[in-house]
Amino acid sequence: MADLRNIETFYWVATLGGFRAAAEKLHATQPAISQRVRALEDSLGVRLFDRDARGVALTAKGEELLPFAEGMLRMRLEMLRAARADNAIRGTLRLGVSETIVHTWLPRLMERLHAAYPALLMDIQVDTSTLLKDQISNHQLDLGFLLGPMTDPHVHSLDLCAFPLRWLASPRLGLGGGPVSLRRIAEWPVITYPASTDPHREIKAMLHKSGAPSVRMYGSAALSVIVRMAQDAIGTAVIAPVSAHRALEDGSLCMLDVESTPLPSLRYTACWRQGPNDLVPRTVAQVALEVALQDSLWHKGNYS
């Protein structure tokens, strides 16, 4: 009978594409990983990998047996979950978060997780969705809350929430109090998300379509920078109002009535790589969905 540790090693060598990566994942030496795979091949009487100077690749039999290995590892985790209940949610979760989520419901999620899973530690990284997606695909993050979904077939995406975008400006620009055209808006720079994002591209196309003689756009991944530049009357801003609620409340920014095609919404998803060890990210994603739904009900009447 094959040792479950050897089966786990086989799974991670196949998933990560090499013995070195599997050794780092399993906190073992590379010779130990090679020995486990050889022991599994001996016990099964088949060759699981083809090895050459370029690396390793699954054999046809390895491809056939990989789903069985994943199923056995998932069953082990489900057994642990049933036996230990919530105590199975432990260890350190590497979580990547878009900044809009930080400014909305992330603190409430942390409170829920601390109360429900006190043995779970969080290593949180705030970055752009583009970079977070790369890090999930490269196994550098376990879970991400980002503009999604991801197209990677090995990554599961769970819809979390959507935030409407609005035009905001300092009252000093004199654009409030009535409908304003995009051509008038284009007299000032438009400050919004980075140039690599869909909102930036869509807003730029919208302004060009309006016939504005010139379009100046400033992109930033830092919401605080966008809000501050708009407060200083450098230009108008297009962001989710929930990210600027303090400025809206103190009157340093106001929402504009702009004659244009409705702006898109920011749609956020929880993304994680599927596999036998995805119990923790999957559980945290479900809790995040509950918190996000509660948060959206509160914000709906305030910034819609």
Contact (CB, 8 A) for 49 and 56: yes
Domains, the chain, ranges and CATH? Answer: 4-85 (1.10.10.10), 89-162+266-303 (3.40.190.10), 166-263 (3.40.190.10)
> Contact at 8 Å (CB) between 163 and 242?
yes
What's the confidence (pLDDT) of residue 296?
Answer: 67
- Amino acid at residue number 16: L
User: Which residues on neighbouring strands pair with residue 230, listed in sequence order?
Assistant: none
Structure tokens that stand for 209 in this block: 């379509």
CA atoms of 167 and 140, how far apart (whole Å): 35
Maximum CA pair distance of the chain? 78
Q: Which residue has the tokens 């073992």?
A: 28
CB 133 within 8 A of CB 271: yes
* Residue 303: per-residue pLDDT: 47
Q: Is the pTM of this model over 0.75?
A: no
Neighbours of 155 (CB within 10 A): 18
Which pair of structure tokens corresponds to residue 52? 């050459």
Amino acid at residue number 99: E
Composition of the chain by helix, strand, coil, percent to 5:
50, 20, 30
Contact 119/280 with Cβ under 8 angstroms? no
Identify whether 149 is preceded by a cis peptide bond (ω within 30 of 0): yes
Among 92, 83, 82, 155, smallest CA distance to 120 is for: 92
Average pLDDT per consecutive 10 residues, the chain (304 residues; last block may be shorter): 81 90 90 91 90 84 89 78 64 93 93 90 92 93 93 92 93 89 92 89 90 90 93 95 91 92 88 87 93 70 48
Q: Are 207 and 182 in contact (CB under 8 A)?
A: yes
Number of CB atoms found within 10 A of residue 224's CB: 12
User: Tokens 């060598």 appear where?
Assistant: 13
DSSP designation for 29? -
